Amino acid sequence: MSAAPRVDAVVVGAGFAGMRSIVELRRLGLSMRVFEAGSEVGGTWYWNRYPGARTDTESWGYCFFFDKELGLEWDWPERFPSQPDVQKYMVHVADRFDMRKEITFNARVDGAFFDEATNLWTVRTDTGEEVTCRWLITGLGWLGVAYKPNLAGLDSFAGEWYQTSLWPKEEVNLEGKRVAVIGTGATGIQVIQTIAPVVEHLTVFQRTPNFVMPGRNHALSDHQRAELKRDYDLITEQTFNHVFAFPMDPANQLGSEVSDDADLIRIFEKGWEDGGFRYIFTTVDDMLVDQRVNDIAAEFVRNKIRAIVKDPVTAELLCPKTHPIGGKRPPLGNFYFETFNRSNVTLVDVRPDPVAEITPTGLRLTSGAEYEADVIIFATGFDAMTGPLAKMNVHGVGDRTLEAEWVEGPNLHLGISQAGFPNLFAILGPQGPFASHPPVIEKQVEFIGKVLDKALADGAERVESTPEAGAAWTAMCDMILHMTLVPKGLDDRPWFLGANVPGKKQTTLAYLGGMAGYCAELDKERDGGFPGYAMRKAPVPA
């Protein structure tokens, strides 16, 4: 048995998930330690401080929901808050609820080991600290492990290079520099539109164009903020009932029932003008499942691109043609396509001619074409969903690691619990709902609290999801995925199917049944007495 000091629970991470867990563990009366690799709270919003980082969810839905007073006292400055504003909010929440006393900063958990004799976890950090706990709760987020292609020659590059999700805290001066950006996902798009006016020249290396929708971000007026507070309860209800947990009502109409294409286009025009994900979600309710509707919506976006971008060759390169809307996660832009009308911006299509290597002065493509740069920015994504937990070096029953367990893909009951890893609860684990994260976290933490309520009431020391429950959840995630058009994007490497990292198992990494559907599954599990979990008091005999 480990001699390490003992607490009831260890929480890994102090982003939205870890912070919300502190509130729940306090309710349960459990002692805790919270370990955070960063020097401040924020998680994703602490690390992703690249130029232009902001949410893609409207501010009034991108927040904690556990305390109405908190919601009513906070004023968001913009429709889609910037990284500094989200970070400010999270610091405020940490202070308001006196969370720092539970958190150890600058301590990255680099190992967790389950002891079957005691049913305790020993958790180790990179500062050399060890602690044992009954309950291990991870709040690592889906996107905590950056992915960067292994390009030869990077060491020889004479300029500076940066990775967006590991952006330095110190200011990076790009003024007057020739900058290359690799990657045009949600991150790359925000970087590109933000730095283009500052740099001397920007070269964008695009492999797959995306359906970038206009965010139409704007400052919120006092009047708008007062309205949002007045509508607090309605917004909360909308959020938890919305398929992607956005604070909006569904369209309540099916595109498949609108037989005239011109009528459909008029509907899409309104959604496009409203901005943000309203284009997908307040126009029709079947854009992601009906091929005709999706085709018309996709061509609508391509026509917008053609109308905005003056050079027809560049416009065509920016038009996504190889996946449906939803086949990759659509980014939000704010004058993104307009950026390509600037004389200091060049678009390079690396789909037919990939980046082959980095040279001392820039990048060389497979064809031999060379592009000079003073700065290279990798906006190349993440080893998403499984990466953060798998890389945490988690050893469950029989010393089996999560990384080994997931070689053929995860099987997490409700996207929270993996059989063979007792007393471990993963907030935002793989196979959780594909929806705005703060509301998902709210519901998952509430659910974990209910599981622990029962375990504590029963005196259970070992709580483990069953392999059958995990397999059934995976089968359901698969079935739902294949009811949508999403798998048609697989060849374009969506990260939520494990397709963006070479060699990674491609599998269903998200539950696409919607937020309300997910909440119903959590309620069913709770009301049924947690049939997907085995709860045992005594250690399992050898």
80 C-beta neighbours (distance < 10 Å), count: 22
Q: Near ligand N01 by CB under 6 A, which window of 22-30, 112-120, 214-222, 490-498?
A: 490-498
**Per rule CB under 6 A, is residue 355 in the interface with ligand N01?**
yes
Q: Which of 108, 302, 306, 329 binds ligand N01 (CB under 6 A)?
A: 329
Q: Near ligand N01 by CB under 6 A, which window of 167-175, 178-186, 235-243, 392-400?
A: 178-186
Q: Which of 82, 132, 138, 184 binds ligand N01 (CB under 6 A)?
A: 184
Closest distance of CB 65 from ligand N01, Å = 18
Closest distance of CB 415 from ligand N01, Å = 16
Closest distance of CB 62 from ligand N01, Å = 8
The order of strands in the sheet holding 370-372 is 355-359, 362-365, 370-372
**Per rule CB under 6 A, is residue 381 in the interface with ligand N01?**
yes
Contacts (CB under 6 A) with ligand N01, residues 361-380: 379-380
Closest distance of CB 119 from ligand N01, Å = 36
Q: Which of 38, 149, 487, 517 binds ligand N01 (CB under 6 A)?
A: 149
Q: C-alpha distances in angstroms, 324 versus 253, 261, 287, 299, 516?
A: 20, 18, 10, 10, 24
**Per rule CB under 6 A, is residue 512 in the interface with ligand N01?**
no
**Per rule CB under 6 A, is residue 188 in the interface with ligand N01?**
yes
**Per rule CB under 6 A, is residue 187 in the interface with ligand N01?**
yes
**Per rule CB under 6 A, is residue 501 in the interface with ligand N01?**
no
- Please identify, using beta-carbon distances, which residue of 201 and 207 lies nearer to ligand N01: 207
**Is-contact 126 108, C-beta < 8 A?**
yes
| Cα–Cα distance, 465 to 470 (Å, whole number) | 7
Q: Near ligand N01 by CB under 6 A, which window of 16-24, 52-60, 131-139, 298-306?
A: 52-60
Closest distance of CB 1 from ligand N01, Å = 41
Closest distance of CB 79 from ligand N01, Å = 13
Q: DSSP for 2-51?
A: --S-EEEEEEE--SHHHHHHHHHHHHHT--EEEE-SSSSS-THHHH---T
CA 476 to chain centre: 21
Q: Which of 71, 183, 396, 532 binds ligand N01 (CB under 6 A)?
A: 183
Tokens representing 342?
């600037």
Tokens representing 23?
């509130």
Q: Which of 132, 500, 507, 508 binds ligand N01 (CB under 6 A)?
A: 500
| Cα–Cα distance, 415 to 234 (Å, whole number) | 28
Q: Which residues pair with 7 in a beta bridge?
A: 133
Closest distance of CB 99 from ligand N01, Å = 23
- Please identify, using beta-carbon distances, which residue of 442 and 464 lies nearer to ligand N01: 442
120-125 and 130-138: which strand pairing?
Answer: antiparallel
91 C-beta neighbours (distance < 10 Å), count: 16
**Is-contact 305 297, C-beta < 8 A?**
no
Closest distance of CB 521 from ligand N01, Å = 22
Closest distance of CB 454 from ligand N01, Å = 33
Q: Which of 21, 36, 47, 55 binds ligand N01 (CB under 6 A)?
A: 55
Q: DSSP for 67-89?
A: -HHHHHH---SBSS-BHHHHHHH
Q: Which of 208, 417, 444, 508 binds ligand N01 (CB under 6 A)?
A: 208
Residue nearest to ligand N01 (CB): 185
**Is-contact 329 320, C-beta < 8 A?**
no
- Which three-class secondary structure state does DSSP give residue 134? strand
Residue 365 host element (H or E):
strand 362-365
Number of residues that bind ligand N01 (CB under 6 A): 28
Question: Largest Cα–Cα distance of the chain, in whole Å?
Answer: 72
Summarize as ranges the residues that interact with ligand N01 (CB under 6 A): 54-56, 143, 149, 182-188, 190, 205, 207-208, 329, 350, 354-355, 379-382, 492-493, 495, 500
